[in-house]
């Protein structure tokens, strides 16, 4: 019985699934579109929102080092993702890779974890989007009632408390709008994303280029604030905690691999797009965190729109840039919400296609050829999370989910090199076993640096997942039925 929990999909089965086109998704995405999808997802909440939160709560000006540590871990994991993407051109990302290397139960754990990761990632960015929209409207004397501009629940060092608000309406609005766009089709989604990515790269470069002259070096002193006596509150442990909190910002290259079945040449283009997007985004992240903490003291950065705050604090020197920065940021965060919503629905699609979730998640629209049921359900719950909960809580949940998925992918490369040493690989992770082993270790260290409450919430989520798996998924597993010779 225990052995049956670890049924694997062979590479031959996965290749057959990819080539049969039974999934009903259309292949529209080339290298440029895939790379822009990655950048579209990575350059978002991490750079526009959580940079300030992580600096104020954990690392101070040393948030620059946190980003470098996260980038190093992501590079190691990205090299492992690239090998898997070149071998297994199917939607599902780490979930599908886990099915091929460690079996169904581990695949379920990864898939359920990815659902948490994408759900809260999208909600986190939506809350950040709301902050920038409210800041932009305020510049023109337009103010939403506080009851419709904040989440009703907040969570800090003192625990849960009510804010008096009803719902964060702007956050809900953007999620619902982009969910509708995703239902219409992947081509329309990609066009919107490409435009948004170009805008936000220009915005980031403008902020770095013009912001350098407004840096006050005293804001970097001390560069690594002294630890308060509590783990994760400044000092070197704060750098580790900061890297863990902002790690989810690199979810973009995971999102690329969820679109394998919509890529024209996935075995070639997926690895390249993963590595290119990672390189571009790391350079931009480090530049923005360097300038941001130089303009505004890190103690004041725990806000939903830190770059907007930096512009407002520049003493008028960057006021002329304010509208462009804020509009560009809003467009940029929109593309992140779009891509992470896309990734979430494709995870649902892959798991339902394997029988582990309800069949409605695998259905595609007769006209648009998109998984419309999973898209609408995803949009509903994401909008609910974004409308009710604060950005700090959401961000921590995303990071631990991302780190767990990346760690398992790194371990999967070690397993696949042993079990399938001769399988064709268009891209090979270099320096095996050193790179995947170190990647898994770096991810684990960053997970351990996250607050205990985050681990507790992950445990609760996983417990719910096991109930779903053993009550439904295990009984309807396509792989299990094929092994028994049953009809599917």
Residue 21: per-residue pLDDT? 54
% of residues, the chain, pLDDT over 90: 15
Distance CA 437, CA 446 (A): 15
Do 275 and 191 form a contact (C-beta atoms < 8 A)?
no
Residue carrying the six token digits 């394997």: 354
Do 65 and 59 form a contact (C-beta atoms < 8 A)?
yes
Residue carrying the six token digits 């000006």: 61
Q: At what angle do helices 372-388 and 104-138 cross, to 10 degrees?
A: 60
- Assess whether pLDDT exceeds 90 at residue 266: no
Residue 25: per-residue pLDDT? 62
Residue 171: per-residue pLDDT? 93
Do 362 and 371 form a contact (C-beta atoms < 8 A)?
yes
408: helix, strand or coil: helix
Mean local confidence (pLDDT), 5-14? 77
Mean local confidence (pLDDT), 95-119? 85
% of residues, the chain, pLDDT over 70: 89
341-383 pLDDT per residue, tens: 888 888 888 888 888 998 888 888 777 777 888 889 999 999 9
Mean local confidence (pLDDT), 123-137? 86
Mean local confidence (pLDDT), 381-409? 78
Residue 294: per-residue pLDDT? 92
**The two structure tokens encoding residue 443:** 């991810």
Distance CA 291, CA 273 (A): 27
pLDDT greater at residue 175 or residue 263: 175
Report residue 471's pLDDT band, with 50, 70 and 90 as the boundaries: very high
413-459 pLDDT per residue, tens: 999 899 888 888 888 898 899 999 999 998 888 788 777 777 888 88
Do 94 and 408 form a contact (C-beta atoms < 8 A)?
yes
Residue 304: per-residue pLDDT? 67
pLDDT greater at residue 389 or residue 111: 111
Residue in 53, 473, 70 with CA at minimum distance from that of residue 296: 53
304-316 pLDDT per residue, tens: 678 878 888 877 7
- Assess whether pLDDT exceeds 70 at residue 45: no
- CA 383 vs. chain centroid, Å, equals 16
- In whole angstroms, how far apart are CA 3 and each of 91, 357, 400, 465, 480? 26, 21, 28, 20, 11
Mean local confidence (pLDDT), 166-186? 89
226: helix, strand or coil: coil
3-state secondary structure 333-367: HHHHHHHHHHHHHHHHHHHHHCCCCCHHHHCCCCC
- Assess whether pLDDT exceeds 70 at residue 91: no
What are the structural domains, with CATH classification, of the chain?
29-484 (1.20.1740.10)
Lowest mean pLDDT among 69-73, 204-208, 214-218: 69-73
Mean local confidence (pLDDT), 151-158? 71
């Amino acid at each position: 019985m225990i052995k049956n929990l670890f049924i694997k999909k062979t590479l031959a089965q996965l290749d057959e699934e990819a080539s049969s086109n039974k999934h009903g998704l259309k292949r529209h995405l080339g290298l440029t579109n895939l790379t822009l999808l990655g950048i579209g997802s990575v350059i978002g909440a991490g750079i526009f929102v959580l940079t300030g939160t992580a600096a104020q709560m954990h690392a101070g000006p040393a948030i620059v080092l946190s980003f470098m540590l996260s980038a190093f871990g992501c590079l190691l994991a990205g090299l492992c993702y690239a090998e898997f993407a070149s071998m297994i051109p199917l939607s599902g990302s780490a979930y599908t890779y886990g099915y091929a290397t460690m079996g169904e139960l581990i695949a379920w754990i990864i898939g359920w974890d990815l659902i948490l990761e994408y759900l809260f990632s999208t909600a986190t960015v939506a809350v950040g989007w709301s902050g920038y929209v409210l800041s932009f409207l305020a510049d023109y004397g337009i103010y939403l009632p506080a009851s419709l501009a904040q989440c009703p629940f907040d969570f800090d060092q003192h625990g849960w408390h009510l804010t008096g608000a009803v719902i964060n309406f702007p956050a809900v609005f953007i999620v619902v709008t982009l969910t509708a766009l995703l239902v219409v089709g992947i081509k329309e989604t990609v066009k919107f994303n490409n435009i948004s990515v170009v805008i936000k790269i220009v915005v980031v470069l403008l902020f770095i280029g013009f912001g350098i002259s407004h840096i006050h070096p005293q804001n970097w002193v001390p560069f690594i604030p002294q630890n308060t006596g509590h783990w994760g509150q400044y000092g070197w442990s704060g750098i580790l905690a900061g890297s863990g909190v902002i790690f989810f910002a690199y979810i973009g290259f995971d999102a690329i691999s969820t679109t394998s079945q919509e890529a024209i040449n996935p075995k070639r283009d997926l690895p390249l797009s993963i590595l290119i997007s990672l390189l571009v985004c790391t350079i931009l992240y480090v530049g923005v965190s360097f300038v941001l903490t130089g303009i505004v003291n890190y103690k004041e950065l725990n806000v939903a729109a830190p770059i907007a705050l930096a512009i407002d604090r520049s003493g008028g020197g960057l006021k002329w840039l304010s509208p462009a920065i804020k509009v560009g940021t809003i467009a940029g965060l929109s593309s992140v919400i779009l891509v992470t919503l896309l990734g979430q629905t494709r995870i649902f699609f892959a798991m339902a296609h394997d029988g582990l979730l309800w069949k409605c998640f695998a259905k595609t629209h007769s006209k648009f050829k998109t998984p419309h049921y999973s898209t609408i359900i995803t949009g509903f719950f994401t909008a609910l999370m974004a409308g009710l909960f604060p950005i700090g809580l959401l961000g921590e949940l995303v990071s631990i989910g991302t780190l767990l998925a990346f760690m398992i992918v790194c371990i999967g490369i070690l397993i696949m090199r042993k079990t399938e040493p001769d399988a064709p690989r268009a891209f090979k992770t270099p320096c095996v076993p050193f790179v995947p082993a170190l990647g898994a270790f770096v991810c684990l260290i960053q997970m351990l640096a996250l607050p205990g409450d985050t681990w507790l919430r992950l445990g609760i989520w996983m417990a719910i997942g096991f109930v779903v798996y053993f009550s439904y998924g295990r009984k309807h597993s396509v792989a299990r039925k094929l092994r028994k010779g049953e009809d599917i």
